[in-house]
Homo-oligomer: A and B are copies of this chain.
């Protein structure tokens, strides 16, 4: 929800006045062919109309008529640990902000810090994704774009989230397990293989690939700008004004 500051109104009044007064002087001169009266009328108009324009803008700022909500979307990045989904989602979110969109990023690791007692069993993971989905849908309903990055391995939980949202865009980051395991940035695969972590997706817990994602991206060998660009193009398509 935005309101105009008084500085914005003044800046508009001045920029309009320059434009409007040049037009008026031209008009009066074209009609009268007298240069001095044209300039004099322009001068009077310039000062008096800034005040009038100001007043006119302040009244319009109170009216909601013709202000159209932008249709947001929930971008859901799903994929294995190490698939590159967080790097990709962060790149896309930054690009969206640059384009003036209001974006909330939801990331698995951050949200788990807030609810530390959420475990990694199937029931716990499912409840977790449902809660995040509910949060995402509430943000979407209020005009906010959501960029969510979660392993979210179960088709059923993702379908639940899809149903909650109005404009759900599922991006399956399909980088193969072998590649993810080679990257192993946080050393999680090594710990899962040694048994130090239980229920680790891809090792001793299944990943169910999306049955009908809006986009599939394998980050094995394409640069981030290309992968991100494909996501961004899709968003622009899907978020035309209602």
Contact of A102 with B by CB under 8 A: yes
- B67, A52: Cβ atoms under 8 Å? no
Q: Which of A31-89 contact B (CB under 8 A)?
A: 31-32, 37, 40-41, 44-45, 48-49, 52-53, 56, 60, 64-70, 72
Specify which of A7, A24, A64, A135 lies most central, judged by the most chain B CB atoms within 10 Å of its CB: A24
- A2, B131: Cβ atoms under 8 Å? no
Chain B binder among A14-22, A193-201, A208-216, A227-235: A14-22
Q: Report chain B residues within 8 Å CB of A130.
A: 114-115
- A67, B4: Cβ atoms under 8 Å? yes
Q: Which residues of A contact B (CB under 8 A)?
A: 1-5, 7-9, 11-12, 15-16, 19-20, 23-24, 27-28, 31-32, 37, 40-41, 44-45, 48-49, 52-53, 56, 60, 64-70, 72, 100-102, 104, 111, 114-115, 117, 127, 130-131, 134-135, 138-139, 141-144, 241
